[in-house]
Amino acid sequence: MTYTSNWDKFDHWLNTRNQGQDEFIQAVREIAADVQPIINVHEEYKHHRVLYRLAEPDRIITFKVVWQNDNGELRINRGWRVQQSNVLGPYKGGLRFHPTVNESILKFLAFEQCFKNALTGLPLGGGKGGSDFNPKHCSDAEIMRFCQAFMTELNRHVGPQTDVPAGDINVGQREIGYLYGQYRRLANEFGGTITGKPLEFGGSLVREEATGYGVIYFTENVMSAADDKLTDKRINISGAGNVALYAAQKAISHGAIVTTLSNSKGTLHIKEGLESTDLNMIISNKESDNALKDAADEGVGEWLARATPWAIPCDIAMPCATQNEILLQDAQRIIDNKVQYVVEGANMPLSEDAAELLHASDLVYIPGKASNAGGVAMSGFEMSQNAQFEPLSFGVLDQKLKDTMAHIHSQCWEDGFAADSDQVNYSRGANVAAFRRLADAIVAQGY
């Protein structure tokens, strides 16, 4: 077969070996398009086939998870750990429990994670894992039994120098506690193998808040570089989980007006802006079946069943729920509403065509691998606190988070300028800066 360019050759290779894995192909193509020009002028990157090597996971572990529900019936789920690359450090990335989880989604997340972790400047490789288990409506005891069964297999493949999982969708401190307890029993070791732990046994201050806070710190860096500021900006946030709620908290405390939160059932629209006290009420009620509708029932804003936030006018759109949550028609509404910034809190929240449309528009687009890297950076700080047996204070860690987000911003800024434009392309900047670090490490370590 003859190819018209290196890109064609790579694209054919990628599609052939990952058939049916649309999310993974989407994520790799997006980064590959930005880094191909760098590869074309670096003979050593070509020779070492760095892009091909990054796009093939080091290994994928797939396993059966058998657990018992409260009625004594046996349930069978599938678990995965995608160990994408440890060229920069131990594999690092969260675990997601959701019925939509499949190998394609975990491969896309693991691939993106390598680039995000590279941007932090910390010694962290990339991985991701999870299960198609649906924890919604499970009792506490069922969740514990599932987590124990999951870790009974996963423990063989993780360790403080090998692979350090954390939380992601539906894996919060409760699940981390059960997973860590089972790891500790089986490995007979109390170390930093999982991050996002509760404070009582090795967790870090600011870990829970870090991703959401980091998104806002990054946004402030972007706005200050554009001579703009967050005060009085209207922000539509989607999601009502870990990332969304702490992004909302930090945004409000910095003078922004948070006009929406959402979940898989609909959107809470607060025209005049969410008050801190109402947000705290939502945070403390987050285990409820629908904390946002509960808030509307209490007189906080209006509940819009089955709606997303994207038709509502705002200055900043901040998707913080899940992948592919902004579709082409949503992107068009965002442009029609003259939104100035789209800042990703979630991983790959734009569908491929929505991303193309937004990239071609004038608004400033901030990719999640840069703006949501605060969570994994804080996990890195949790690992070093565990290794040194020395917890750090909230203030010290919050400052480290701010510094990390500023460091990521400056890399994206430097690599995001093109000779033919006066606007920074943050997406290209993030992809290129991360790729360079990964590629140099691959070349230096041989094959």
Using rule CB under 6 A, residue 242 touches ligand NDP: yes
Beta strands in 161-306 (DSSP E): 163-167, 234-237, 257-263, 266-269, 302-305
Of 241-249, 353-361, 405-413, 425-433: span binding ligand NDP (CB under 6 A): 241-249
Q: Residues touching ligand NDP: how many (CB under 6 A)?
A: 25
CB nearer to ligand NDP: pick between 152 and 404: 404
> Cα–Cα distance between 235 and 378 in angstroms, integer?
25
Q: Does 359 bind ligand NDP (CB under 6 A)?
A: no
Binding of ligand NDP by 243 (CB under 6 A): yes
* Binding flag, residue 375, ligand NDP (CB under 6 A): yes
Catalytic residue among 128, 233, 369, 400: 128
Residue 324 neighbours by CB under 8 Å, 6+ apart: 23, 348, 349, 350, 351
Residue nearer to ligand NDP on the CB measure, 177 or 375: 375
The pattern of x and - marking residues 7 through 26 that bind ligand NDP according to CB under 6 A reads --------------------
C-alpha 344/C-alpha 258 separation (Å) is 15
- Contact (Cβ atoms closer than 8 angstroms) between residue 210 and residue 401: yes
Q: CA 183, CA 177: separation in Å to the nearest integer?
A: 10
| Distance in Å, CB of 123 to ligand NDP, minimum | 19
Q: Count CB atoms within 10 A of the CB of residue 265.
A: 14
Tell me how far, at minimum, the Cβ of 256 lies from ligand NDP, in Å: 19
Q: Which residue is nearest to ligand NDP (CB)?
A: 241
Residue 378 beta carbon to ligand NDP: minimum distance, rounded to whole angstroms? 8
Token output for 310: 């994207």
The C-alpha torsion from 390 through 395 and 398 to 399, rounded to 10°, is -100
Q: Binding residue for ligand NDP (CB under 6 A) from 224, 253, 264, 280?
A: 264
Residue closer to ligand NDP (CB basis): 158 or 245: 245
Take residue 248 and report the two structure tokens written for it: 């909302």
Could you confirm whether 64 is annotated as catalytic?
no
d(CA 101, CA 129): 9
| Binding of ligand NDP by 291 (CB under 6 A) | no
Question: Any contact of residue 202 with ligand NDP (CB under 6 A)?
Answer: no
- Tokens representing 432 are 């290129």
User: Which of 211, 219, 351, 411 contacts ligand NDP by CB under 6 A?
Assistant: 211
Tell me the closest approach of the beta carbon of residue 36 to ligand NDP, in angstroms. Answer: 26
The shares of helix, strand and coil residues in the chain, as percent rounded to the nearest 5, are 50, 15, 35
Token pair listed for 113: 């994670």
> Under 8 Å CB-to-CB from 390, ≥6 apart: which residues?
none
Site string for ligand NDP, 48-87 (x = CB under 6 A): ----------------------------------------
Least distance in angstroms from the C-beta of 50 to ligand NDP: 25
Place of tokens 């579709």: 327
Planar angle of CA 353, 52, 105, nearest 5 degrees? 45
Count, residues in the chain: 447
Instruction: Extract the tokens encoding 141.
Output: 């005891």
Output 138 or 320, the one with its CB closest to ligand NDP: 320
Q: Out of 30, 325, 382, 415, point to the residue binding ligand NDP (CB under 6 A).
A: 325
- Interface mask toward ligand NDP for 139-178; x: CB under 6 A: ----------------------------xxxx--------
Query: What residues are paired with 67 via a beta bridge?
Result: 75
Nearest to 15 by CA among 3, 28, 4, 34: 28
Shortest Cβ 122–ligand NDP spacing (Å): 14
Which listed residue (118, 346, 364, 434) binds ligand NDP by CB under 6 A? 346
- Of 202 and 375, the one with the shorter C-beta distance to ligand NDP is 375
CA distance 88 to 445: 10
Catalytic residues: 128
Name the residues that contact ligand NDP, by CB under 6 A: 167-170, 211, 239-244, 262-265, 320-323, 325, 345-347, 372, 375
